[in-house]
Amino acid sequence: MAGWGRYPIIVAESLRRAGCEVYCVCLKDHADPQLNSICNGTTWIGMAKVGRAIRYFRRHGVTDATMAGKIHKVRFFQPWVWFKHLPDWRAIRRFYPHFFLSRADRKDDTLLTALIEEFALDGIRFAPATDYVPELLAKPGQLTRRGPSGAQWKDIEFGWGIAREMGRLDIGQSVAIHRRATIAVEAIEGTDECIRRAGQLCRAGGFTVVKVAKPQQDMRFDVPTIGVGTLRTMVEARASVLAVEAGRTILLDQADTVRYADEQGLVIVVLDANGNLVS
């Protein structure tokens, strides 16, 4: 099941190289059309067509599935969202307590777990995409030529605890820090918008972005992901440092990402779960 970004393309290419038949449910206005030429078959559906997605997988004998790519969750909060996306019966039945009765919350983990449980009713098991492309998980160490200054290390340490707590509360994955002050916290808008907002609030630039997995991270979905696109947003916003968590962050196109960071004078460090640099 493919959302926005390059990650679904990389996963599909890896599966094809491994000799797998790949059938992709591509989310409209999210997934890249390039998937049409990579996969054995594709279908393009709206975000609320749960039943249609299940029927497509069952028709092709799919029992093992994975999710890759970002879902723009802000679209769930637009006016008349259900009229725009026209949910099918299975979506209505599964998400009725969340969106119609408001008896259940709409946290990322809650909604995505409910989605996976609906597929499981038809014998379709979701596994982490990183099971198929484990080489994309960031390894600990300093990735760029430049390392953090003393002041930047203090910002990383300060932001690490805040980001972990935001993750524990299932609010977001990223925080922007400058001189041990919290400039911006990611919520439903996503990391790039959080960074842009930090750039608007911290006109002097030079701030640090800390992005970590949730302590309770389910690796089947919503795994922190960075790549060249993240760094371009940082450059536009005048950020200087990116700190992420080893083993639980997806690093796309590592060679290109690190090369771009070095060209722009950025710092990237990959730390252990306690926020320490281990080489």
pLDDT at 105: 83
pLDDT at 71: 86
pLDDT range class, residue 106, cuts 50, 70, 90: confident
Q: How large is the average pLDDT for residues 123-133?
A: 95
Q: How large is the average pLDDT for residues 88-97?
A: 87
Map residue 96 onto helix, strand or coil: helix
Residue 76 has pLDDT above 70, yes or no: no
The backbone torsions φ and ψ at residue 76, rounded to the nearest 5 degrees and listed phi first, read: -70, -15
Q: How far apart are CA 91 and CA 20, in angstroms?
A: 29
Q: How large is the average pLDDT for residues 98-121?
A: 84
Q: How far apart are CA 223 and CA 131, in angstroms?
A: 13
Which has more confidence, 81 or 127? 127
Q: What is the C-alpha end-to-end distance of the chain, expressed in Å?
A: 35
Q: What stretch of H or E contains 36? A: helix 35-38
Residues in the chain: 279
* pLDDT over 90, % of the chain: 79
pLDDT at 58: 97
Which CATH number is correct for 137-271, 3.40.1190.20, 3.40.140.80, 1.10.3720.10, 3.20.20.140? 3.40.140.80
Q: How far apart are CA 242 and CA 249, in angstroms?
A: 12
Q: How large is the average pLDDT for residues 119-137?
A: 96
Are 138 and 268 in contact by the 8 Å Cβ rule? The answer is: no
Residue with the two structure tokens 């953090």: 148
Q: What stretch of H or E contains 97? A: helix 89-99
Residue 209 has pLDDT above 70, yes or no: yes
Which has more confidence, 1 or 110? 1
Q: Domain extents for the chain?
A: 7-131, 137-271
One fold for both 7-131 and 137-271? no
Are 65 and 125 in contact by the 8 Å Cβ rule? The answer is: yes
Mean pLDDT of the chain: 93
247: left (phi over 0), alpha (psi -120 to 50) or beta: left
pLDDT at 86: 79
Comparing CA positions, the residue from 91, 126, 108, 221 lying closest to residue 168 is: 108
Residue 78 has pLDDT above 70, yes or no: no
Map residue 274 onto helix, strand or coil: coil
Residue 110 has pLDDT above 90, yes or no: no
Q: How large is the average pLDDT for residues 168-185?
A: 95
Q: How large is the average pLDDT for residues 177-188?
A: 96
pLDDT range class, residue 261, cuts 50, 70, 90: very high
Q: Check: CATH 3.40.50.20 for 7-131? A: yes
Stated pTM of the model: 0.88
Q: How far apart are CA 279 and CA 266, in angstroms?
A: 19
